[in-house]
Structure 1
Amino acid sequence: MSGQPFSPPEPMIDPFLHLKISLNPDGTITRLRGDQHISPSPNPNLPIPVLTKDMSINPSHNTTARIFLPRKTLDHNPFHKLPIIVYFHGGGFILFSAASDFLHDLCINLANDVNSIIVSIDYRLAPEHRLPAAYDDAMEALHWIKTQSDDWLKNYGDYSNCYIMGGSAGANIAYNAGLRVAAETNVNDDYLKSLKIRGLILSQPFFGSTKRVASELRLLNDAVLPPHVCDLMWELSLPIGVDRDHEYCNPTVGDSVGGLDRVRELGWRVLVSGCDGDPLMDHQMALARVIEEKDVVVVKSFTEGGCHGAEVRDLIKQKQLHDLIKDFISFSQN
């Protein structure tokens, strides 16, 4: 019939099946995925490009850090310290860990390509620990990096050249943790003084709103991350009783926008990357505009094609991202 508004087809994919999870009566979930976990390899005598080891952050929360150290660093000038990238993995706040095989491999390549120490944080997952638990864990991890005496970080890491990075939901965590750090630095100049943050690196950040944006409507039945699957992730991770226009999900609303003033004053730079094959791209571009409108220096990279998570699993896209990060860090040091 002419004159009738267009209604997109109803999504056909069951979000629980898509995510391979089941909901339990007590509100927890059972994760049914069969992802492999990789053990760390700290032995410098092994013929591997990057050494790895796990450290406990908070035993009561079961939060840990996996540290990635480029093997070639051991043979170089000990006075040349490496940038420290604090990395938060994706998974919609409900899935994966720093030991998940593809995330471990990503950090191996990131450490090697960018010649940096990567500290990948295992934070508490929702719905067992809803937001802001992951943000709290991120802040605790930053304090831990500053105060503990791990020899890899102490001997090879440049505490004056640190970046907070994440992919997807991890980029959401990196952004919100960055705002917290900036705000608390404003109150107490000694806060994280010995761990100088120079910027945020947000790869395909996971944000949304109650209103569907054009990229979501265009990719309503996306094979990788259809919008209704995102809806379930937000339902499981946001505080009980709030919707997707809460500031944890929608960065264009709430008090968080004001926190960008302090980010500008601190001279941080922000990298936001994405692609037009990702249903979340318009949300990511809106985030970049909000940051830019606060006169924070933003490096934007939105490419054609791809999909959500391409920068994790597609080695060509991953290398392009790592080259971008290397340039971003090099410029931020000057």
Structure 2
Amino acid sequence: MASSISDEVTHDFSILGLRVYKDGRVDRFKGTDTVPPSTNPETGVQSKDVVIDPETGLSARLYIPRIPNPHRKLPLLVYFHGGGFCIETAFSPLYHNYLNSLVAEANIIVVSVDYRRAPEHPLPIAYDDSWAAVKWVASHSSAAAGEVWLKDYVDFDRVFFSGDSAGANIAHNMGLRVGLEGLDGVKLVGIVLVHPYFGGNDPIGNEGTNLIGKAFSDQLWVFVYPSCNGSDDPLFNPVKDPKFSSLGCGKVLVCVAEKDLLKDRGWYYKEELEKSGWGGVVELMEAKGEDHVFHLFNPTCDNALAKLKRVVSFMN
């Protein structure tokens, strides 16, 4: 029996965990699990979920270490999850477990942003949501009301952005927006980019010997951002952005993994940022023998623990 039109696949990103059918159905078969907020019995880290914008459904998960001294404010990390802009959420076990560990180790407060995902909400919606979340966070620097964990415990002179993969792409672009537009009441100290999902028309480094992987990366970008200017769009290839040097922080840590196709994009970003006239300090850490976002899937391995320590050190 012939399959119906509705069963025809128009976009197959099975390796990522996503298929889209001709009738518009989206089938996600990875990154769909969620866990509720909690108090971690071992570390005392608490989490809770907040709605930032009821109209769009933009929300976030907040994390706080053992209730701190209100007279000693803590650094704040705004985190953007990965998943190719189209799978995973801020409530995924991968991110919940990772951020629990990071909060406990670094003694920081975290806002993990649950932006809307493609293809139902194509880019630039994730960027718009993320900027709305950043501005919501910043509003607490002077507000009399609002979220108590932010209002009472955050040092707004010590704010950081971070993300992995697509989330690292968002973190860079939010940092650039801070540099271009400013962010009242907040000092963005630094950005941590973990295995950033960047690209470009011309292959660099190991992309030249992995053209299938390069093609997948480029196709995914156009899929999540149909109205983009191709792989050299400045949102995807930040080096092509004439405002690249306007990044609104004083330091950046780029983390890459030796076996990751995106590794050379991370190195390229570092080298070009140093040459751009930006004026800050950029560091790079490479995990030998590891692949893309290995630290989420194997958080207790030596390389994951070393990466965690480096991130903690960067923020403190």
TM interval, shorter chain, is 0.7 to 0.9
The number of residue pairs the alignment matches comes to: 297
Question: Does structure 2 conserve the Cα–Cα contact (< 8 Å) formed by 1:92 and 1:230?
Answer: no
Q: Hey, what does 1:158 align to over in structure 2?
A: 155
Q: Which residue of 2 aligns with 1:11?
A: none
Aligned 8 A contact 1:238 1:248 in 2: no
User: Which position in structure 1 is the counterpart of 2:60?
Assistant: 65
CA gap of 1:63–1:153, structure 2 versus 1, over 3 A, is: same
Matched, 1:199 2:202: no
Q: Which residue of 2 aligns with 1:299?
A: 283
Deviates more, 1:30-39 or 1:56-65: 30-39
Helix, strand or coil at the partner of 2:64: strand
1:248 is matched with 235
**Aligned-residue offset at 1:272:** 0.7
**Is 1:88 matched with 2:80?**
yes
2:113 to 121, 134, 138: 121
Q: Is 2:277 aligned against 1:286?
A: no
SS at match of 2:117: coil
Q: What percent of counterpart residues are identical?
A: 34
**Does the 8 Å contact 1:67/1:120 carry over to 2?**
yes
1:177-326 alignment runs, 5 A limit? 177-185=174-182, 192-219=183-210, 226-240=213-227, 242-260=229-247, 263=248, 268-293=250-275, 294=277, 295-315=279-299, 316=301, 317-326=303-312
C-alpha spacing 1:273/1:184, structure 2 compared with 1 (3 Å): same
CA-based RMSD? 2.2
Partner-residue secondary structure (3-state), 2:255: strand
- Matched-pair contact (CA < 8 Å) for 1:215–1:282: yes
Instruction: Provide the rounded CA distance (Å) in 1 between the counterparts of 2:105 and 2:267.
Output: 26
Deviations 1:123-168 (A, max 9, x none): 1111222222111111111111122521111222211110011111
Contact map agreement 2:17 2:87 (CA 8 A) in 1 = no
- Flag the 1:310–1:218 CA change in 2: closer, same or farther, 3 A: farther
TM-score normalised over the length of structure 1: 0.82
Structure 1 172/27 Cα, relative in aligned 2: closer, same or farther at 3 Å? farther
CA contact (8 A) 1:288 1:300 kept: yes
Could you say which residue in structure 1 is the equivalent of 2:7? none
CA distance in structure 1 between the partners assigned to 2:184 and 2:18 by the alignment: 42
Cα contact 1:207–1:283 (8 A) shared by 2: yes
The answer to whether the 8 Å contact 1:94/1:125 transfers is yes
Unaligned runs of 5+ in 1: 1-13, 186-191
For the structure 1 residues 138 and 147, does the alpha-carbon distance in structure 2 shift closer, same or farther, using more than 3 Å as the test?
Answer: same
For residue 290 of structure 1, report the CA deviation from its aligned partner.
Answer: 1.7
- Is the Cα–Cα contact under 8 Å of residues 31 and 89 in structure 2 kept in the other structure? no
Aligned residue in 1 for 2:49: 54
| Contact in 2 for aligned 1:28/1:128 (Cα 8 Å) | no
Which amino acid in structure 2 is aligned with residue 305 of structure 1? G
- Distance in 2 between residues matched to 1:15 and 1:287, nearest whole Å: 29
Deviates more, 1:278-287 or 1:206-215: 206-215
**C-alpha displacement of 1:58:** 1.2
Structure 1 residues 213 and 27, CA, compared in 2 at 3 Å: closer, same or farther? farther
> How far apart are residue 48 of structure 1 and its match?
5.5
The answer to whether 1:77 aligns with 2:69 is yes
| Cα distance between partner residues in 1 of 2:312 and 2:30 | 33
Shift in Å, 1:27: 5.5
The farther-off stretch of 211-220 and 57-66 is 211-220
Cα pair distance change 1:106/1:47, threshold 3 Å = closer
Secondary structure of the corresponding residue to residue 252 of structure 1? helix
| Equivalent position to 2:92, from 100, 112, 118 | 100
- SS of residue in 2 equivalent to 1:202: strand
Q: Which amino acid aligns with 2:46?
A: L
- Summarize deviations over 1:160-203 as a string: whole Å, max 9, x none: 11001111110100000110111012xxxxxx332221111111
Is this contact kept in 2: 1:27–1:127, CA < 8 A? no
* Distance change >3 Å, CA 133–CA 26, structure 1 → 2: farther
Once structures 1 and 2 are overlaid, which stretch shifts more, 22-31 or 77-86?
Answer: 22-31
Alpha-carbon deviation of 1:25?
A: 2.9
Q: 1:241 to 1:273 in 2, by over 3 A?
A: closer
2:18 to 21, 31, 39: 21
Closer/same/farther in 2, CA of residues 170 and 278 from structure 1, 3 Å limit = same
Measured after TM superposition, the shift of residue 15 of structure 1 is 5.2
- Give secondary structure in 2 for the equivalent of 1:302: strand
